[in-house]
Structure 1
């Protein structure tokens, strides 16, 4: 969906303008990760809604699209938003599919780690308290990825 919308939005602009736009967005989100900027993330911080089970097909489709794009869940970090902006303005279909597969694998890994934990409350608490300590590391690790996305 991001590639489709992006294809329309990026059409009138030269590549250099799009690269600058994505780089600027990436810098803003990285500054947020480092707590140098503060703003709410675009997200829909809800879990599985009850209405999905009452609407046989379309409720599940809507939930799948929202969950697959990361817009139907709590997001403690803005780093996936950098990827979304990059996909919208710079990615090909193939790159968007690879990014989606990577996003799905990362989400699955987090859930599998939680499911494998012996004590779910301790795992949840560790995630809640450990994530803020790892934010800087994740931001630093995102810099080469963002650079590759922009220069690509």
Structure 2
């Protein structure tokens, strides 16, 4: 999108997307975002090897199959499409896939995966708020930096 739209238009689109997604994430409004509604099979995660975690990260990161419980990946996609170079987009994709694989490995090596899941549910709200603040800072940086305002 970078060569197709002026900087100001791209920044406004990104800020608009960020507002919609932050409102959705904080639970103030519901919005059904696109996703492939097929769950990654349990055997991929629980096969006991790092390969399962890597496959899960790959399938989740590429959107081949999964439910997306958060809207933040959509915001990252919009940000990359509107503001990033090809190299930055590649790095963002690698970081996303690595982060998803790291989460799966952390769950696997925790030992009691049911307790890990309960902890995630218990801390869901603070995690969403922290991710929301992080997303807002990232969007602010992406919008302000190209305009020479940082």
TM-score strictly above 0.5: yes
8 Å CA contact 1:86, 1:150 repeated in 2: no
Any idea what the Cα deviations from partners look like across 1:45-97, whole Å, max 9, x if unmatched? Answer: 32347xxxxxxxxxxxxx99863334622222111111101111221101101
Q: CA deviation at 1:23?
A: 1.0
Could you say if the C-alpha distance between residues 71 and 21 of structure 1 is closer, same or farther in structure 2, counting changes exceeding 3 Å?
A: farther
Structure 2 residues without counterparts, runs of 5 or longer:
42-55, 146-150
C-alpha distance in 2 between matches for 1:64 and 1:141:
22
Could you say if the C-alpha distance between residues 66 and 115 of structure 1 is closer, same or farther in structure 2, counting changes exceeding 3 Å?
A: closer
C-alpha distance in 2 between matches for 1:68 and 1:142:
18
- RMSD over aligned CA atoms reads 2.4
Could you say if the C-alpha distance between residues 90 and 71 of structure 1 is closer, same or farther in structure 2, counting changes exceeding 3 Å?
A: farther
Alignment partner of 1:83 is 2:63: no
What is residue 53 of structure 1 aligned with on the other side? none
Kindly report which structure 2 residues correspond to 1:1-152, keeping only aligned pairs within 5 A, or say none.
6=1, 11=4, 13-48=5-40, 67-70=60-63, 72-152=65-145
Could you say if the C-alpha distance between residues 131 and 118 of structure 1 is closer, same or farther in structure 2, counting changes exceeding 3 Å?
A: same
Structure 1 residues without counterparts, runs of 5 or longer:
1-5, 50-62
8 Å CA contact 2:38, 2:65 repeated in 1: yes
Could you say if the C-alpha distance between residues 108 and 28 of structure 1 is closer, same or farther in structure 2, counting changes exceeding 3 Å?
A: same
Could you say if the C-alpha distance between residues 75 and 48 of structure 1 is closer, same or farther in structure 2, counting changes exceeding 3 Å?
A: closer
Q: How many residues align?
A: 131
C-alpha distance in 2 between matches for 1:29 and 1:91:
19
